[in-house]
């Protein structure tokens, strides 16, 4: 999993932001998708993107417990399941996305348990973006809340189940959210909300405030703004843990198609 540097972006000071992609980010119709993390990976933050049909793109952000050198095999196994099963579940035009998402969650859970040889916590958020409708069907298995900013403000997408890797038969519900034109969906890893300065925790509320005020114009800029604001808070490089942001944006010119979800 090779790394390549991207824009150094904080007040013209060098910031070791990394963009480590397991595959090229798919081009979306009237939307954008990006993910970045700070510095060199130490833990189990893992993200991936995959086009699974002509109108659907699958994305996920996982946080496998432990150090990178100890959980590499688990991450590799989870990626294999994500990439193998995703197209099988979501390729058909008339797929029930909620059922497919629950099945993906179940199989990722089993993969993590098998690869680790036992209990191994892995909070995870995965979603399937349907381009023609602007909808995201997702599960949140004990991950930090997804955040959606639209004309009404910022709302949270809370956990729909327990973290993966804890119980063999655990399941997570799937929900659907509509992204109106100009809306953004933002995910951040636990390393962002747990960052501290002088005993004060950054918290999800700070991420929400940043998202509400941000003037970013595309998915990558939203991710970079997360890292910029976090470094301003900590006053030092946030190297306490993996720090990752993933964003999905819908263009303000996107066509609105009425749909029941």
Q: What are phi and psi of 165, to 5 degrees?
A: 85, 10
- Cβ(217)–Cβ(148) below 8 Å: no
> Is residue 113 assigned to a domain?
yes
Domain that holds residue 226: 4-250
Overall number of domains in the chain: 1
pLDDT digits (tens, 9 = 90+) for 52-104: 999 999 999 999 887 777 788 899 999 999 999 999 999 988 999 999 999 99
Helix axes 97-116, 68-90, angle to 10 degrees: 150
Domain presence at residue 256: no
Q: How confident is the model at residue 23 (pLDDT cuts 50, 70, 90)?
A: low
Mean confidence (pLDDT) of the chain: 85
Give pLDDT tens digits for 143-181. 999 999 999 999 999 999 999 999 988 888 999 999 999
Phi, psi of 37 (to 5 degrees): -140, 160
Asked if the model's pLDDT at residue 19 lies above 50, the reply is: no
Report which of 42, 76, 45 is spatially closest to residue 223, judged by C-alpha positions. 45
Is residue 257 situated within a structural domain? Answer: no
3-class secondary structure, 184: strand
Task: Check residue 18 and give its pLDDT.
Answer: 46
Q: Provide the b/e sequence for 177-195 (b: ≥16 CB within 10 Å).
A: bbbebebbbbbbbbbbbeb
| pTM exceeds 0.75 for this model | yes
* Residue 194, pLDDT above cutoff 60: yes
Q: Residue 70: helix, strand or coil by DSSP?
A: helix
Going by pLDDT thresholds of 50, 70 and 90, the confidence category of residue 12 is: very low
CATH, residue 146? 3.60.40.10
> Is residue 257 scored above 50 in pLDDT?
yes
Nearest to 129 by CA among 25, 243, 9, 16: 25
Within-domain flag for 32: yes
- Is 99 within the bounds of a domain? yes
Is position 240 within any domain?
yes
pLDDT for 83: 95
Q: Is residue 259 part of a domain?
A: no
């Amino acid at each position: 999993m090779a790394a390549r540097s991207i824009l150094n972006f904080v007040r013209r000071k060098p910031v070791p932001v990394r963009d480590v992609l397991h595959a090229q980010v798919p081009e979306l119709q009237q939307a954008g998708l990006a993910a970045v993390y700070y510095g060199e990976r130490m833990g189990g933050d893992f993200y991936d993107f995959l086009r699974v049909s002509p109108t659907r793109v699958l994305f996920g952000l996982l946080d496998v417990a432990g150090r990178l050198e100890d959980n590499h095999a688990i991450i590799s196994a989870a990626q294999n399941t994500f990439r193998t099963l995703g197209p099988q579940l979501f390729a058909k035009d008339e797929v029930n996305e909620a059922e497919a998402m629950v099945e993906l969650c179940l199989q990722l859970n089993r993969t993590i348990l098998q690869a680790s040889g036992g209990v191994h916590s892995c909070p995870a958020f995965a979603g399937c973006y349907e381009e023609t409708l602007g909808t995201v069907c997702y599960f949140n298995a004990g991950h930090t809340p997804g955040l959606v900013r639209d004309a009404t403000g910022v709302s949270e997408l809370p956990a729909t189940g327990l973290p993966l890797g804890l119980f063999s038969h655990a399941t997570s519900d799937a929900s659907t959210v509509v992204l109106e034109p100009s809306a953004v969906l933002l995910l951040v890893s636990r390393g962002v909300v747990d960052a501290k300065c002088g005993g004060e925790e950054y918290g999800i509320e700070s991420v929400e405030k940043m998202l509400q005020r941000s003037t970013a114009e595309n998915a990558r800029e939203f991710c970079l703004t997360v890292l910029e604001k976090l470094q301003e808070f900590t006053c030092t490089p946030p190297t306490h843990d993996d720090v990752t942001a993933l964003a999905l944006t819908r263009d303000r010119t996107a066509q609105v198609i009425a749909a029941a979800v």
